[in-house]
Structure formats: structure tokens, C-alpha cells
């Protein structure tokens, strides 16, 4: 018997009400469609599970009839799934004792950046699971100059003289790609022959507080002239968190091992198609003024940071938004329409605290501040007029 998303949403609303609608899983903003139960029920342990992608994994896994256990510090949306899943409280950085004596069909490792987190958990999980799934990142690849590079591309080494097992979480951002590389290697050592490495690109959708995609629906919804990067034909790649989560659960059901780049969509997407697709989805009156990469750089506007999703498709970043995903597509990775992601991301954004919403205008996290955008647009028009 199929379980609808609406049924799930109703079941978690009571738990989410204490923290407001902004704390609900992103499916609260999603379409209602049936979810078929899996052929067999699995015992699934999710490390993390209440942040961004995790709630989607929990929702889809429980709708498919799986038994889910969460292991986390119970600080992000504490007790959110109380009564629906088993909650184990601990910390991958030190106290993993709650995992002792437990066995699972599948472990999904969402939060790990530090290889010692993999090692710590393996004290109790190695030999007590049939499948270990690790979310890594496309940031493990140091060379982004070649479009179409696949999973065989070289990985980021740890700098000489740096012990990845002694780096503190506070310093992890500095060595992010190398630490994820080392974590992948630790997974392979602890779970030989039964591991899956997922390397996502930019994960987007409701609940994403990085604003790296959210900026565009919010800005386009405001309408008017919008500063756009490069040329309309420049490539971009994104994956909705729900598409990633659901695919991982299906991969777990099928016990698919190996390494997979996970981004999308299946058909190459350009920045022009993405921006116009968002515009159409939101019925916005926005217009786009595309400024070349060298002009943006000369005016202090950087790809990814100020112009989210996009990087110049030349030189060192020629392949940054053109990673090969053929392996993942062959294993059933699917994508919901861009219009759905755009509308539901905007709907979620409008439920965020006022301070978070207003921060979009000053580009506190990602995107270009409104005043800076106006300044650069004026400079671009002046340059065109002068030419």
C-alpha cells in the first residue's frame, strides 16, 4: 500500500509546530504524490538526519517501509522525528558509545568531514552493517579544468606534514576537499567491498541555508533588472536535496556499491535556461543583464560567491559545472523539474526568520548585495554605452 507525502507531513506537523514551519522538512512545501513501499524492509542508521538532506532521507525511507534510527547530538531540530524513529544521542567526534551492540542493514553517513569520525563510528559499526553509504563531495577533485571528467579523476591530497586525524573541526573548512578524500579512504578501509561513495555537487532546495541557489528564486521573484553572470550558454549543475535523498534510499534497497558523481540535471543545463526557468516558474517580470566574467571580476563580483551556482567555464574552472554523471544516471538518479525546486525553495524562504530573509539583500552568505548589484549594473550599462 502506498503512503502519501501528505500523510507524512501531517504526522510530523505536531513535532514541528514547536519550532515553527521553517523547521519542517522541505516536503512540507512539496507536491503530494504516492510513495510505493519497498519490496523488503531495511534497518537503516542515518548519521545526522535532521539537517538538510537528512529529513528527506527519513521521510522517504519511512514512507517506503524501512525502520530508521538516527545518531546525532540531538541539537538540530531536537526530537524532531520522535515516535517515528529511534534516536541515539552521541557525537561522532568523541562519544559514539550509543552505537555499541547495534547492527544495521545500511548506514548512511551524512555529516562526516573528518576521517576520524568514520574511524570512531567504525568501532561499533564495522562488521555490524551490510552497507555503508558516505556522502562526499565533488570538492574532492582538485582539477576542474576539464569538462566531462568522471569518477576516475584525481583526488585532493592532504598537504605534506598535515595529519588529517588531528585537524580540529574548526579548521576543517581550510582542508575540506582533502579531508573528504581522506574520509572516503577511511570508509574504504573500514567497509571493504560494501561501501558506496556519493559525490554530490551543489545541493539545493528547501532547508538550504547556504543561499547558494536560494538567492536566485528570491532575487528573481523581486523582479526588475537582474545582474546575471557570463553568457546565457554557460553550464551549471545542481541537485535538489530530495532527489539526492530518494535516490540514496533506492540505492540502499538495491545494495549498489561504488563511487558516483551526483549532480544534475540529466540533460545539460545552462545559466540562461536556469534563470529563465525560475522566472517562468515564479511568473516574474525580471529581466536579465548578462555581464562577462572579466567585467564582473574587475568590479569585485566573484562566481559562486556573488553569482551563485555559476563559475566561468574557462581556464581552471572550465569543467567546474560539467562533471560527468553517467554512472549515477545509469543507477536510476532522477530529477524533479526545476520549476518545482524554484517554487518550493521560495516558499520555504518566505517562512524563514525575518533576519535570515533580510540577510539575502546584503549578501551575507551568498549572492550579491542589492546596492552592489545596482552599482555593477550601472557600470555595465555605462561601459556598453561608451563602446
Torsion of CA 116, 86, 57, 257, to 10 degrees: 50
Give strand pairing partners of 261.
199
Res 126: pLDDT: 98
Q: What are phi and psi of 68, to 5 degrees?
A: -115, 135
Could you report the per-residue pLDDT of 274-285, keeping only the tens digit for each? 999 999 999 999
Closest C-alpha to 201, from 255, 272, 260: 260
CB under 8 Å to 218, separation ≥6 — which residues? 346, 349, 360
Domain ranges of the chain: 207-237+268-318+337-387
Give the domain 207-237+268-318+337-387 fold. Answer: UDP-galactose 4-epimerase; domain 1 (3.90.25)
Task: Return contacts of 328-334, CB within 8 angstroms, 24+ apart.
Answer: 328/247, 328/260, 328/261, 328/262, 329/266, 331/247, 331/251, 331/256, 331/260, 332/247, 332/250, 332/251, 333/243, 333/247, 333/260, 333/262, 333/264, 333/266, 334/243, 334/247, 334/266
**CA 20, CA 322: separation in Å to the nearest integer?**
38
Tell me if the bond preceding 244 is cis, omega within 30° of 0.
no
**CB contact at 8 A, 181 and 141:** no
Res 31: pLDDT: 54
**CB contact at 8 A, 57 and 108:** yes
Res 99: pLDDT: 98
Cell readout for 41 is 524492509
**CA 324, CA 386: separation in Å to the nearest integer?**
41
Instruction: Note down pLDDT in tens along the chain; length 387 residues.
Output: 333 333 333 333 333 332 333 333 434 455 556 899 999 999 999 999 999 999 999 999 999 999 999 999 998 888 889 889 999 999 999 999 999 999 999 999 999 999 999 999 999 999 999 999 999 999 999 999 999 999 999 999 999 999 999 998 888 999 999 999 999 999 999 999 999 999 999 999 999 989 999 999 999 999 999 999 999 999 999 999 999 999 999 999 999 999 999 999 999 999 999 999 999 999 999 999 999 999 999 999 999 999 999 999 999 999 999 999 999 999 999 999 999 999 999 999 999 999 888 887 777 889 999 999 999 999 999 999 987
Could you report the per-residue pLDDT of 245-276, keeping only the tens digit for each? 999 999 999 999 999 999 999 999 999 999 99
Res 7: pLDDT: 36
Average pLDDT, the chain: 91
Res 379: pLDDT: 97
Q: What's the start-to-end Cα distance of the chain, in Å? A: 66
Amino acid at each position: 500500500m502506498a503512503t502519501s507525502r501528505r500523510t507524512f507531513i501531517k504526522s510530523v506537523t505536531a513535532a514541528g509546530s514547536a519550532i515553527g514551519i521553517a523547521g519542517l522538512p522541505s516536503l512540507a512545501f512539496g507536491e503530494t504524490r504516492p510513495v510505493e513501499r519497498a519490496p523488503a524492509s531495511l534497518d537503516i542508521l542515518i548519521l545526522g538526519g535532521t539537517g538538510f538532506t537528512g529529513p528527506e532521507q527519513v521521510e522517504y525511507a519511512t514512507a517506503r517501509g524501512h525502520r530508521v534510527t538516527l545518531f546525532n547530538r540531538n541539537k538540530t531540530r531536537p526530537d524532531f522525528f520522535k515516535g517515528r524513529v529511534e534516536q541515539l544521542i552521541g557525537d561522532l567526534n568523541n562519544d559514539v558509545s550509543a552505537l555499541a551492540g547495534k547492527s544495521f542493514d545500511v548506514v548512511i553517513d551524512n555529516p562526516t568531514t573528518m576521517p576520524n569520525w568514520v574511524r570512531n563510528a567504525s568501532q561499533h559499526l564495522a562488521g555490524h552493517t551490510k552497507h555503508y553509504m558516505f556522502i562526499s563531495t565533488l570538492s574532492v577533485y582538485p582539477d576542474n579544468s576539464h569538462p566531462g571528467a568522471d569518477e576516475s579523476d584525481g583526488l585532493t591530497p592532504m598537504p605534506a606534514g598535515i595529519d588529517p586525524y588531528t585537524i580540529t573541526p574548526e579548521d576543517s573548512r581550510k582542508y575540506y576537499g582533502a579531508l573528504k578524500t581522506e574520509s572516503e579512504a577511511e570508509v574504504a578501509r573500514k567497509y571493504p567491498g560494501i561501501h558506496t561513495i556519493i559525490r554530490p555537487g551543489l545541493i539545493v532546495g528547501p532547508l538550504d541555508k547556504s543561499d547558494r541557489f536560494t538567492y536566485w528564486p528570491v532575487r528573481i521573484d523581486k523582479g526588475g533588472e537582474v545582474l546575471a553572470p557570463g553568457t546565457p550558454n554557460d553550464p551549471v549543475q545542481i541537485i535538489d536535496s530530495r532527489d539526492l535523498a530518494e535516490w540514496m534510499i533506492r540505492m540502499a534497497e538495491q545494495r549498489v556499491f561504488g563511487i558516483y558523481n551526483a549532480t544534475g540535471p540529466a540533460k545539460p543545463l545552462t545559466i540562461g535556461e536556469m534563470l529563465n526557468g525560475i522566472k517562468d516558474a515564479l511568473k516574474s517580470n525580471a529581466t536579465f543583464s548578462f555581464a562577462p566574467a572579466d567585467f564582473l571580476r574587475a568590479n569585485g563580483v566573484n562566481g559562486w560567491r556573488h553569482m551563485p551556482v555559476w563559475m566561468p567555464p574557462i581556464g581552471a574552472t572550465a569543467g567546474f559545472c560539467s562533471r560527468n554523471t553517467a554512472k549515477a544516471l545509469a543507477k536510476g538518479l532522477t530529477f524533479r523539474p526545476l520549476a518545482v525546486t524554484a517554487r518550493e525553495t521560495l516558499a520555504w524562504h518566505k517562512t524563514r526568520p525575518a533576519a535570515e530573509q533580510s540577510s539575502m539583500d546584503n549578501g551575507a552568505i551568498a549572492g550579491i548585495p542589492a546596492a552592489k548589484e545596482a552599482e555593477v549594473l550601472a557600470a555595465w550599462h555605462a561601459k556598453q554605452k561608451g563602446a
